[in-house]
Amino acid sequence: MRYVLEVLRRKHADDRPYWQSFVYETDSEQATVASALRELNERDELLDADGAAAEPIRWDISCLQKKCGACAMVIDGVPRMACDTRLATLRAGPRTARCCRAGSSGG
């Protein structure tokens, strides 16, 4: 399946945030927002949905076991844990996940 992850980002803490979209494809029904963000960052070159080079997506993560809460973010308008949110369960538009609280560098 093909998903579009819309990530709210900013270059520096004082900068105005902006949305950047990324295409993520997987055959797994178990793929989570956390696994998608990790796999995007593991690419040799991270490109946004328009094909422009993008900085790695910075966000907090720790246990990946739904225990610590470090990965908490607003996903499709609802506070959730990214490691416990399967992409296949999201309802916002056709295969679109809108994720907040991710930055480009240091923020």
What is each CA distance from 29 to 33, 43, 82, 95, 100, in whole angstroms? Answer: 12, 21, 15, 12, 22
18, 28, 67, 78: which one binds ligand FES (CB under 6 A): 67
1, 47, 63, 78: which one binds ligand FES (CB under 6 A): 63
Q: Report whether 71 contacts 63 (CB < 8 A).
A: no
* Segment interacting with ligand FES, rule: CB under 6 A, options 13-21, 38-46, 66-74, 91-99: 66-74
38 binds ligand FES (CB under 6 A): no
